[in-house]
Structure 1
Amino acid sequence: MEKRIVDMTGDPRREQFAYFSTMANPYVGVTCQVDITALVEKIRRDGAPFFLSLTYEVMTAANAVPELRRRIEGGRVVEYGSCRCSCTVAKPDGAYAYCTLDTALPFAEFIETGRAALEAAKYGGTITEEQGHEEFFFVSCVPWLRYTDIVMPVPSPAYSNVRISWGKWTEENGRTSLPVTILAHHGLVDGIHLGRFYEELERRASKA
């Protein structure tokens, strides 16, 4: 994937980057309820798969925020032009595997290739990370729970990959909402960037 080096010596967030990069747990995260009423109606109307449709919208929203496409590689900050998704897939034996999806594809092509990729991971995938994983958004879901917060496992030393998760969607008073969590390296991302992600996701989800 195309990427560029970000010169942090001239970046407005250079002090934050230096400060949070020294921490053992440099992450910032939040969980918000997102209104997906119109999106669910569209998915039902089109007969589209919910997980892949939502993944496409979430990843497109995340890719719309440049700071969420930034990673720390070899002590340098790089910004990818677009980031793919590494998601978890439940296997028949109760374990799970990783699956790579490319949301830069047109929606119809993404759905077609995504179905095949999920099926392959379900029956033959592993949790071995793909080489060159730095670009990925790490995605998971817990569709059994309408949670208000979630603790995500993180490696040591810290990765700079953004992690996104969501839970069970629920309907109340004619509206459908979904808990969505995002976790990012605070050296690269502030609250304003997380806010922009949610704004873009809600904008996309509101389109019928």
Structure 2
Amino acid sequence: MPMKKIDLATYKRRGMFAAFKDRDIPFFSTSSHIDISNLKKIIDDQRCGFFLSISFLITKAVNLVPELRHRVINGELFEFQRIDPGFTVLLEDETFSFCDSRYFEAFEEYRRYSEIKIQEVKECPDQSTGEKHHMFFITSLPWFSFTSIVHPHDRLYGYIPVVSIGKYFQEGERLLLPVGIQVNHALVDGIHVGKFYQHLSDMCECSELWLSV
């Protein structure tokens, strides 16, 4: 995956990086409610599937924030040109499999590719770990809404953002989706998470521009 090395000597966040990289708990997690009223209408009209639609928009929003594409590999800081989504797939026995997808500019390409990968892991589940610096993770919890969420953390995936989506709910005339994100504070600050939420909110509001099939 194309990436460029960032010189830590001139890295503008080098002070924050040094302050947080060796903390026992270097990550922070937050959640927010995203208005998906228009998005749900587009999904219902086009019958394009809720998870694949929202995961495509999440992937777009994550990639629009450079800090969410930053990774520390063997002590050196890199920025990936793009990062790919990986997500969980529920199996018939109520266990789950990991599923590695890819970033695509066009929704239809993403949908076709992801549908194939989902079917593959349903037939041959994957709970393996490995080198996934070029990825970020999405976990879907459609059984309940949440106002906060924290994920397991280990150094293998220590710099990889994790995005969570819960059960959407009605509030007045709006349909709201809880979206959580967990990031490493050595590389990502609250302002960067705010940009992610703003990008995602904007795309959900104008989802007909992004989900054309």
Q: TM-score range by the shorter chain?
A: over 0.9
Cα distance change on mapping 1:25 and 1:158 into 2, 3 Å: farther
Is contact 1:68-1:189 (8 Å) kept? yes
Cα distance in 2 for residues equivalent to 1:81 and 1:206:
26
Cα distance in 1 for residues equivalent to 2:151 and 2:123:
25
Cα distance in 2 for residues equivalent to 1:157 and 1:199:
29
Q: CA deviation at 1:76?
A: 0.7
Cα distance in 1 for residues equivalent to 2:150 and 2:2:
31
Point out where structure 1 has 5 or more consecutive residues left out of the alignment: none
* Deviates further, 44-53 or 158-167: 158-167
Q: TM-score, normalised by structure 2?
A: 0.93
Q: Give the aligned length.
A: 207
How does 1:1-208 map onto structure 2 within 5 Å? Answer: 1-129=1-129, 131-156=130-155, 159-207=158-206, 208=208
Encode CA deviations 1:49-101: one digit per residue, 9 max, x unaligned. 11011000001000000000001100011000000011111111111111111
Residue type matched to 2:120 in 1? A
SS of the equivalent of 2:133 reads: helix
Q: CA deviation at 1:187?
A: 0.5
Cα distance in 2 for residues equivalent to 1:85 and 1:167:
17
Point out where structure 2 has 5 or more consecutive residues left out of the alignment: 209-213
Cα distance in 2 for residues equivalent to 1:29 and 1:145:
18
Residue type matched to 2:44 in 1? R
Cα distance in 2 for residues equivalent to 1:80 and 1:157:
17
Is contact 1:89-1:96 (8 Å) kept? yes
Q: CA deviation at 1:103?
A: 2.3
**Deviating 4+ runs (over 4 angstroms):** none
Is contact 1:35-1:176 (8 Å) kept? yes
The percent identity for this pair of structures is: 29
Q: CA deviation at 1:158?
A: 6.1
Cα distance change on mapping 1:11 and 1:156 into 2, 3 Å: closer
Cα distance in 2 for residues equivalent to 1:157 and 1:25:
14
Cα distance in 1 for residues equivalent to 2:154 and 2:131:
16
Is contact 2:80-2:134 (8 Å) kept? yes
